[in-house]
Amino acid sequence: MKKIFLLLSLSLFFACNSSEEKQLPEEVSEEELSSIPDNFGIVIHGGAGTIVKKNMTDSLEKAYKDKLEEAIRVGHEILANGGTAMEAVQRTINIMEDSPLFNAGKGAVFTNAETNELDASIMDGKTLNAGAVAGVTTVKNPINLAWEVMENSEHVMMAGKGAELFAEERGVEIVDPEYFYTENRFQSLQRLKNMDTEETELDHDQSAAFVDPFIKDSKYGTVGCVALDKDGNLAAGTSTGGMTNKKWGRIGDAPIIGAGTYANNKTCAVSATGWGEFFIRGVVAHDISALMAYKRLSLEDAADEVIQNKIPDLGGNGGIIAIDFQGNVAMEFNTAGMYRAHMNKDGDLEIGIYGEE
């Protein structure tokens, strides 16, 4: 009876709350959280930006939707079979890292030096343990290395050659840097270099530094996944190739715990995609969790406050995906579009690319 009463109380609260700013009920204990009957869900993103239908062919739109569906179904199956949120996040991101459609893993963009530098992070909402890697050039799936850092080291973040040495010691798959070469991404870099403007050189021109070579427009390229498993545990992960034409070892928000990735069983799991400098300054992923924890906002309202107000006020844009301890989800963005998908415990699938879908 206690389980049923708790679940009904949490659900009815939001259904009956008619105030303009929704608030969470009093803090639910860990014992009560674990007593909630089996519930799970998963959300993914593949980047946000000026993604508009007029720049997208029917065949390319189908390719993106098919890959988003393939990826999310992998994670959903893991969760449906009683697997952990951590495993679902990692394996789902692997699918997107292995696709040239997204700016992560195989599809990573090029730096000014014509190399590919990859970043990733992952976080466990149950333990608040986390792992991250930055600037790796030979790791096929950076999210797997981030997991190794979390599980098999005393550290949270590793970078560059040291991270790659750790990857070899842990048996993480290593590839020749040529693996990451894709012609479209390389030509995108050449176009930016040929523009030779001060704004591009300083990485401040979002219309240039985030050009998507497939749709010839602005896109923030990152992939991410958040999940809630049947045990009530949350997890979040993010992986990216960063910014086209980046210099000086630039690192964005994706590997920064609290900025691009955050998970806490008491609130939510978040993965971000956007102009990294602003998401770092705004500590976006943690800020959403903090608004839930301290101001008792719902996930929906917390995400809206950060993405629609705080980040634009700072001068940045992008989006997030998130899921809370009840399975409520947010897919919030202030750009024209964001590649995204969601599946709940019933297997209902929602896929979107453009705004107002």
Which residues are known catalytic residues?
A: 222
Distance between CA atoms of 215 and 339, rounded to whole angstroms? 13
Name, in order, each residue with C-beta under 8 angstroms of 175's C-beta and a sequence gap of 6 or more. Answer: 138, 139, 140
Q: 3-state class of 4 per DSSP?
A: helix
Reading the block at residue 223, the tokens are: 């992939």
Q: What type of residue sits at position 280? A: I
Cα end-to-end span (Å), the chain: 39
Among 186, 45, 179, smallest CA distance to 112 is for: 186
Q: 3-state class of 207 per DSSP?
A: helix
Distance between CA atoms of 123 and 99, rounded to whole angstroms? 23
Among 248, 251, 245, 240, smallest CA distance to 209 is for: 245
Name, in order, each residue with C-beta under 8 angstroms of 37's C-beta and a sequence gap of 6 or more. Answer: 3, 4, 7
Going by DSSP bridges, is the β-strand pair 41-49/217-220 parallel, antiparallel, or unpaired?
antiparallel
Count of CA atoms in the C-beta half-sphere (13 A) of 102: 32
